[in-house]
């Protein structure tokens, strides 16, 4: 079965469907045909008409046809595509040394000291891997060994990775992706339809019910794992503090609170870490792709106490996790974020964009909510009925309409009815104004 055939049978938000009859330009069609002949059938492409990319710089992507696209979606190149600081650091280190972590070396220690200084004092140890999925996997092993329990609680549309263990915590991968043993889901948070003062109590009740289920089964609670902005659940950002009661509940149950910061971390939400907005201190924190601007590096950060049993009794070695080249990339990312003030920049520009989206949304009945933090924003569409039924079709039309006008975004949430806007951190006020102007034009055309 080819990639094209596989895509035709499996739903993905904002996914390319070759059965739709879209006619691609000859160059893209030829490239797609070659791609289908060599890549595994699980791969997917974005957009009704896939974008063929040749190069990228900053917040811009250049297509094979020479067209420029404003990138308002890719969080992995956190400090911008093809950043010269990362290029220089990686090139210099690759020419000097690249090996594993079983030799003493200065760069990994220096970077770790700088990284941990960005966290609450209690989070004082870091272990490196190559991908966010590996870091999730390590968090699972650590929590189970530390607590002596097996159960995990996740949100019902979560995405946490692609290893067997991480995919088992990722129901958003679809109905043919089974959950892991002793994994219990809680309903996705729906801040568009839940009064602000009911969000935290409703979430807590769901978590406590899941704890009871795991205790009754005999598995017990090893941990709760939540993306700190619940990206796959539709970008659920407010009210701030709604995650705090969950920490207390999981601790009472003898488990650990694990914050997945792969997407909200490194300044994305206008704070260094998404969990900061909720006034909590996790036991373990997962970091991933953006920390190296796309160069493979990830990490598990946590308190020494939360990692004590596993760390002292189980040998963990990830051959090139934290290798000198990846550490050089990560160091350059920290340098740029600090030098350019990108955390405050994300808060400022993101605040402007959020205000603009809210004003724009107020003029369209189909926009039922606008939310987000920093440069991680969502615009949700719903029908004009009592339930405000999610309108995934409109979201799809808007995402593809924006792509046709040269701006790349995506969709999120259990019904894929919320626009997901998540650009590289150097995104400017002028970029935001262009996005708003274009979105107004697309909504005027599509929100009929």
Encode pLDDT of 263-313 as tens digits: 999 999 999 999 999 999 999 999 999 999 999 999 999 999 999 999 889
349 within domain boundaries: yes
Encode pLDDT of 92-110 as tens digits: 999 999 999 989 999 999 9
How confident is the model at residue 207, as a pLDDT?
98
User: Residue 219 phi/psi, 5° resolution?
Assistant: -75, -35
Which has the higher per-residue pLDDT, 6 or 361?
361
3 within domain boundaries: no
The contacts of residue 245 (CB under 8 Å, 6+ apart) are 200, 201, 203, 204
273 within domain boundaries: yes
203 within domain boundaries: yes
How confident is the model at residue 8, as a pLDDT?
40
Name the domain boundary from 276, 310, 339.
339
Is the pLDDT reported for residue 20 higher than 80? no
In terms of domains, do 116 and 216 share one?
A: yes
CA angle 335, 336, 338 (to 5 degrees): 70
pTM of the model: 0.93
359 within domain boundaries: yes
Task: Give the residue-averaged pLDDT of 425-435.
Answer: 98
The rounded distance, in Å, linking the Cα atoms of 426 and 85 is 14
Is the pLDDT reported for residue 81 higher than 50? yes
How confident is the model at residue 156, as a pLDDT?
96
Share of the chain above pLDDT 70, in %: 97
In terms of domains, do 234 and 258 share one?
A: yes
Name the domain boundary from 339, 371, 391.
339
- Residue 157's pLDDT band (boundaries 50, 70, 90)? very high
Which has the higher per-residue pLDDT, 246 or 35?
246
- CATH number of the structural domain spanning residue 391: 3.90.1150.10
- Tell me the CB-side half-sphere exposure of residue 293, using CA atoms within 13 A: 31
In terms of domains, do 335 and 346 share one?
A: no
How confident is the model at residue 94, as a pLDDT?
96
Encode pLDDT of 197-249 as tens digits: 999 999 999 999 999 999 999 999 999 999 999 999 999 999 999 999 999 99
In terms of domains, do 227 and 263 share one?
A: yes
- Tell me if residue 15 falls in helix, strand or coil: strand
The rounded distance, in Å, linking the Cα atoms of 18 and 3 is 10
The rounded distance, in Å, linking the Cα atoms of 88 and 71 is 23
257 within domain boundaries: yes
In terms of domains, do 162 and 278 share one?
A: yes
Encode burial over 93-117: b for 16+ CB neighbours within 10 A, e otherwise. beeeeeeebeeebebbeebbeebee
Peptide bond into 239 cis (omega under 30): yes
Least confident of 112-121, 361-370, 379-388: 379-388
In terms of domains, do 310 and 209 share one?
A: yes
Structurally, how many domains does the chain consist of?
A: 2
Name the domain boundary from 309, 339, 369.
339
In terms of domains, do 215 and 90 share one?
A: yes
In terms of domains, do 298 and 269 share one?
A: yes
22 within domain boundaries: no
Could you give the C-alpha distances from 252 to 26, 205, 223, 230, 256, in angstroms and in order?
Answer: 60, 14, 11, 23, 10
The contacts of residue 146 (CB under 8 Å, 6+ apart) are 222, 256, 306, 307, 308, 309, 310
- CATH number of the structural domain spanning residue 120: 3.40.640.10
In terms of domains, do 154 and 203 share one?
A: yes
In terms of domains, do 201 and 69 share one?
A: no
How confident is the model at residue 9, as a pLDDT?
43
Instruction: Note down the domain range covering 65.
Output: 51-79+342-446
In terms of domains, do 118 and 67 share one?
A: no
How confident is the model at residue 11, as a pLDDT?
53
31 within domain boundaries: no
């Amino acid at each position: 079965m080819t990639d094209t055939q596989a895509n035709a049978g499996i739903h993905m938000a904002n996914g390319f469907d070759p059965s739709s009859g879209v006619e691609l330009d000859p160059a893209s069609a030829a490239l797609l045909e070659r791609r289908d002949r060599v890549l595994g059938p699980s791969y997917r492409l974005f957009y009704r008409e896939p974008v063929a990319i040749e190069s990228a710089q900053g917040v811009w992507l250049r297509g094979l046809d020479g067209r420029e696209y404003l990138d308002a979606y890719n969080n992995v190149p956190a400090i911008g595509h093809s950043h010269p600081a990362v290029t220089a650091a990686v090139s210099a280190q690759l020419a000097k040394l690249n090996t594993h972590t079983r030799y003493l070396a200065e760069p990994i220690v220096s970077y770790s000291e700088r990284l941990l200084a960005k966290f609450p004092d209690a989070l004082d140890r870091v272990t490196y891997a190559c991908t966010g999925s590996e870091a999730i996997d390590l968090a699972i092993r650590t929590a189970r060994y530390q607590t002596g329990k097996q159960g995990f609680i996740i949100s019902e549309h979560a995405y946490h990775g692609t290893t067997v263990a991480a995919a088992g915590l990722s129901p958003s991968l679809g109905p043919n992706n089974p959950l892991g043993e002793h994994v219990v889901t809680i309903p996705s948070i729906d801040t568009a339809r839940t009064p602000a003062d009911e969000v935290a109590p409703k979430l807590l009740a769901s978590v406590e019910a899941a704890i009871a289920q795991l205790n009754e089964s005999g598995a017990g609670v090893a941990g709760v794992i939540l993306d700190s902005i619940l990206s796959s659940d539709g970008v659920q950002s407010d009210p701030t503090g709604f995650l705090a009661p969950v920490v207390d509940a999981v601790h009472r149950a003898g488990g650990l609170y694990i914050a997945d910061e792969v997407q909200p971390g490194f300044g994305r939400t206008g704070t260094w870490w998404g969990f900061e907005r909720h006034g909590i201190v996790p036991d373990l924190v997962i970091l991933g792709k953006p920390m190296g601007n796309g160069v493979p590096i990830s990490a598990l950060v946590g308190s020494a106490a939360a990692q004590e049993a596993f760390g002292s009794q189980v040998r963990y070695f990830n051959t090139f996790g934290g290798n000198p080249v990846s550490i050089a990339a990560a160091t350059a990312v920290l340098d740029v974020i600090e030098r350019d003030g990108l955390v405050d920049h994300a808060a400022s520009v993101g605040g402007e964009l959020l205000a603009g989206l809210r004003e724009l949304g107020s003029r369209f009945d189909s926009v039922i909510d606008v939310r987000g933090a920093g440069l991680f924003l969502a615009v949700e569409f719903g029908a004009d009925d009592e339930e405000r039924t999610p309108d995934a079709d409109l979201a799809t039309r808007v995402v593809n309409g924006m792509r046709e006008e040269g701006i790349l975004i995506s969709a999120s949430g259990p019904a894929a009815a919320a626009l997901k806007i998540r650009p590289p951190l150097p995104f400017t006020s002028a970029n935001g104004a262009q996005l708003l102007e274009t979105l107004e034009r697309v909504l005027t055309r599509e929100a009929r």
